[in-house]
Chains A and B, each alone.
Chain A
Amino acid sequence: MNEDRSLYPEHDENGKPIIDLESHKFLKLWQGPQHPGITGNMSLELTVSGDEIVESKTHVGYLHRGFEKLLERRLFVQCMPTSIRLCVAEPDPNEYIVSTAVEELGGIEIPDNAKWLRMLSLEMARLQVLLRGVPGQAGTFALGLGYQWGNYLRDLILDSFEELTGGRVYHMYIIPGGVRGNLPEGFKGRMLEKLKLIDEFVVKIDKLIFQNVVFESRAKGLGHIPKEWVDKYGVYGPAARASGVMRDVRKTNPYLNYDQLDFEPHVTTEGDVYARSVVRYNDLQMTVDMIRQILDKMPDGGDIRAQTPNVLHWKIPKGETYVKCESSRGEYGMYFVTDGSDKPRRAHLKGPSYTHANALLDKLLINANIADTAAIMVSLATCPPEIER
């Protein structure tokens, strides 16, 4: 363990590692596609020397669903049930970007009430992701307790989703023209109670994870993303903010009514797994606060949907647009092309996982310990379904 690791592998004059598997100094190790330490169905082809990774290659293609292509065969309203599955863990940004692209090209202005309801569902979505994601980071170092606490609270948020949208995981709530329902009776009160529980959880998580010497010593310095890489590798959202670059679409290009909320996304400069955890931990608290603001500021009922043309044969004139929003992982966008027919000509998803899990991860894993791969991956919040749309 304590021999000089810098000897292996040797590098050629171009700086490429010389890896001779026959030398028995290196081993190929596959992490995934079915592996508890992988975020969904993808694979890391690791070349290790001892327990140190000398080369990593991300493999995708285990999940290919052709959703973008499928959208080209669907009426605009029929795009919704398919597109919500683009990223499973956080379906609401999918709903938002597809609906908004359709509205933008179809010339539909949605009611203000629907804007607030969209923000609510988007922030609830972020909340349920972070409730697992923040403690889940410690889970990659085998501290599973916080993850269980978070999962319970996430379930309470899914209960709220069930009340509001009729679905726990696939909400089908945001739809071209608006949303599919006002707040049910008593929703606000119940939601505020749940947020109080999350406040307590936030304190407990601090003690469990951030006041934890093991977590600190393993996460600090791990998976370091220098500020210069943010642009070079296409780093978004919390990961960019942990490396000192302010990236949050809600702030930089406000959409819906985000400009009416008071929030300041956390930025720090260390750029390691610990810093990304701290940024996400702050995001969690900010999300709770934003939901309180939304519930406070939103109108008490009202129209939920603008009248669209008949959805069964709604034709949208030729046009293209790029719609983006801030998902829990970072900028999440949809490039959408219409050709005057009743179906999209092209729909192309751009999510942070594509760059995070491919180019960036390959780079970050070099010199990392095998046991740290999961931690690095989770800190980037990679989502394979979003890569393989």
Chain B
Amino acid sequence: MNIKKLLTPFTAWGNVTKDPVTIKDPLNERPGADRYRGFHRNDVEACVGCGSCEDICENEAIDLMPAKDTKDGDSGLRPMIDYGRCCWCALCVDVCTTNSLTLSNEYTWISTDPEDFRYIPGIDKKEWDNNNDKGWKKPEPNYEFYPLKRIQPSHLSPEDRSDSFIEMMHGYSKDQAMQEADRCVECGICTATCPAHMGIPEYIKAIRNDDLEEGLRILYDTNPLPEICGRICTHKCETVCTIGHKGDPLSIRWLKRYIADQNPSERYKKILETENLVSKGKKVAIIGAGPSGLSAAHYLVQMGYEVKIFEKLAAAGGMMRYGIPSYRLPYDQIDKDIDYILSLGVDIQYNINVGNGEGEISLETLGNDYDAVFSGTGLHLGRSTGIPGSDNKHVYASPDLLRWIVEGKEFEVPENVVVIGGGNVAMDITRSMARLQMKKYGKVGVITTALEGEDKMPADREEIDEGREEGCIINPGWAPKSVEIDSNGVPTGLNVVKCHSLFDSEGRFNPQTDEDNKEFWPGTMIIESIGQGMDISYLDGKYKDQLEFGPRGRVQTDEYYQTGLPWLFMGGDIIKGPDVITGIATGHKAAVGIDRMLNPEF
């Protein structure tokens, strides 16, 4: 026997003199590591209730519960965690679209009530809510569970587009659309905010599945003008898109356009199963072929009503055709949407005004001849600032000019133009005039001003940026004072003063200006683009007493846009909005209302 090997192990006795390694009071002496995955915390003010945490949890430990007020961009729901199921993987933290969800570095939590272990972090207060900011957070750097960068469709360069009314945005390619669609987390916050409540996550999913026919069906469930909305919608959905909290919101509008663009119009009826619509034998008249009228017509004809539209102008589309320049919305795309609706059997009479004058058809006649009437006559009258000189004949209203461009009417295009207004319509006329000037003079001479400061301008950011790229001077934060007129009665320019704020402390519209800080902007044509008014004089006469009018002369309706006259429904910009998608939504809802009225068994 090897004596050495018998004795050597006993050297272990040397440990007897050493201190023990055990920690006596581990919870105090040895707190969790900085990244330890302890218990859930949620900054409930930052969280928007998107439900991505619920989706990713493989243990189904998360349920979204009503906890806050629902508002645009916030479902009002907050995650409730069930520690009977959770495995503390923290995937919910990593996926969180707002970074509101984190884990504390607490090791232990003792309670005798099992119900305690199912709680809504941030709402059900816990001791670890504020004690330190340690614990698990979404890892850095460049660690994202979904791409945050938007895929930009290609577009014409400023040089190529500055003298052309050709559509400037190219649509997505299949690859681009797939990549962009991949970024969606399917929270549906966009659907809640969209005035038409379009099935946005669903049609984006259809793109991912490369099932564009399904995509088209989903679009038409709520919106019969997808080519149009896919180009010029005000996309409130994108403003609230949850991906926008950490990155670029999804390009929902271009994705919608992609679906519509990829489906050829010849296949629409087959895809949408509208080849054999059955008539119910009842008739509905629609006044105005704008978004709301077309939308109402589409859903009514689908439900089996005989629909006839009465349109004042020579073509259908309303503001979409006569108010939006074709570099944003080409006419053939307007036609694609409208032709499909007309092909379902909708009758349309052009160049006919509803009113009480000569050659016009009266509301009364429509009321007698039809079972119901829907009116969506829109806002076509320009509003004036009323400043001195604004009554000069060289001071124009933007709706008129935009319509003339569409109609091809000749009018004087001067070298210098001043536009008053900061909304999208003001940008439309600014950029349209710039194109006309570029064609005629080879240079641009438009100055556009708005009362609002740069970051408060109501126009879409890209409209402002693109206008500048095209050579327009957009100079916000000035208030128009007067139009300077020369001895020949022609304007020479606009006097403006600096505008600091628009609203007073009580939130009333009350612009504050600095009269000493003034400028003169030369221009022989002044265009006012500060909002539009409606003409509803066709209501005058017999029925006026039966209607109720609200603020700004708007007719009051119920939730189905039914007025005090049971057979008269009204929608679009004269009731709500103004914008295309709201018009579409009101037309759709009114169609449902008309159906409820005419088919009471519904």
Contacts and interface: CB of A to CB of B under 8 A. Distances in A.
Contacts of B139: 180-181, 304-305
Contact of B185 (A162, A163, A166, A310): A310
A163 B5 contact: no
B95 interface: yes
Given A77-B91, A166-B37, A180-B143, A212 B52 contact: no
A253 B576 CA distance: 69
A180 B137 CA distance: 10
A152 interface: yes
A264 to B, nearest CB: 27
Interface stretch (B7-15, B226-234, B362-370): B7-15
Contacts of A166: 33, 35-37, 90, 103, 136
Interface hub of B4, B11, B58, B185 (most chain A Cβ within 10 A): B58
B58 A304 contact: no
B12 A211 contact: no
Interface hub of A164, A180, A308 (most chain B Cβ within 10 A): A180
B88 interface: yes
Contacts of A170: 87-89
B202 interface: no
B12 A310 contact: no
A82 B37 contact: no
A207 B12 contact: yes
Nearest to B94: A180
A34 interface: no
Contact of B145 (A214, A304, A312): A312
A132 to B, nearest CB: 15
A159 interface: yes
Interface hub of B4, B143, B205 (most chain A Cβ within 10 A): B143
Interface string B26-60: 00000011111100000000000000100110110
A304 B94 CA distance: 14
B542 to A, nearest CB: 58
Interface hub of B1, B136, B139 (most chain A Cβ within 10 A): B139
A212 B58 contact: no
Nearest to B138: A180
Interface string A174-209: 000010110010000000000000000000100111
A165 interface: yes
B302 to A, nearest CB: 32
B146 A310 contact: yes
Nearest to A305: B143
Given A172-B90, A207-B9, A312 B185 contact: yes
B453 interface: no
A347 to B, nearest CB: 14
A315 B178 CA distance: 12
Given A207-B11, A307-B142, A310-B145, A159 B186 contact: no
A292 interface: no
Contacts of B136: 166
B147 A307 contact: yes
Interface string A146-164: 0000001000000100111
A163 B35 contact: yes
Nearest to A156: B21
B144 interface: yes
A145 B13 CA distance: 10
Given A180-B94, A313-B208, A211 B145 contact: no
Contacts of B2: 213
A342 to B, nearest CB: 10
A166 B90 CA distance: 9
A214 B34 CA distance: 45
Given A166-B37, A207-B9, A211-B5, A78 B141 contact: no
Contact of B32 (A152, A162, A165): A162
B9 A311 contact: no
A81 B58 CA distance: 8
Contacts of B183: 310
A251 B345 CA distance: 75
Contacts of A178: 143
A81 B5 contact: no
Interface string A52-85: 0000000000000000000000110110111000
Interface residues of A, number: 43
Nearest to B179: A309
Contact of A207 (B8, B21, B141): B8
B262 to A, nearest CB: 20
Nearest to B135: A166
Nearest to A212: B9
Contacts of A311: 56, 95, 145-146
A148 to B, nearest CB: 10
B33 A211 contact: no
A163 B33 contact: yes
A339 interface: no
A259 interface: no
Contacts of A307: 142, 144, 147
A51 interface: no
Contact of B4 (A77, A167, A211): A211
Given A77-B145, A312-B95, A313-B208, A152 B21 contact: yes
A167 B143 contact: no
Interface hub of A212, A304, A308 (most chain B Cβ within 10 A): A212
A314 B56 CA distance: 12
Interface in A306-358: 307-313, 315
A357 B313 CA distance: 86
A82 B136 CA distance: 20
B34 A163 contact: yes
Interface string A294-310: 00000000011101111
A181 B12 contact: no
Contacts of B466: none
A216 interface: yes
A58 to B, nearest CB: 30
B9 A159 contact: no
B184 A165 contact: no
A312 B143 contact: no
B6 interface: yes
Contact of B58 (A78, A145, A204, A309): A78
Nearest to A172: B89
A77 B58 CA distance: 9
A181 B22 CA distance: 29
Contacts of B145: 77, 308, 310-312
Contacts of A310: 145-147, 182-185
B5 A216 contact: yes
A216 B6 CA distance: 10
A159 B29 CA distance: 14
A78 B34 CA distance: 24
A304 B143 contact: yes
B9 A211 contact: yes
B218 to A, nearest CB: 17
A153 B600 CA distance: 79
Contacts of A77: 56, 91, 145
Interface of B: 1-2, 4-6, 8-9, 11-12, 21, 32-37, 52, 55-56, 58-59, 87-91, 94-95, 103, 136, 139, 141-147, 182-186, 205, 208
10 contacts: A152-B21, A162-B32, A170-B87, A172-B89, A207-B9, A213-B1, A213-B2, A304-B142, A310-B182, A311-B146
Given A163-B33, A207-B8, A312-B95, 14 more contacts: A78-B91, A80-B89, A164-B35, A166-B37, A180-B143, A181-B35, A208-B8, A208-B12, A212-B9, A308-B145, A310-B183, A310-B184, A311-B145, A312-B146
The list of the 4 closest CB pairs from A to B, nearest first, reads: A310-B146, A78-B58, A211-B8, A213-B5
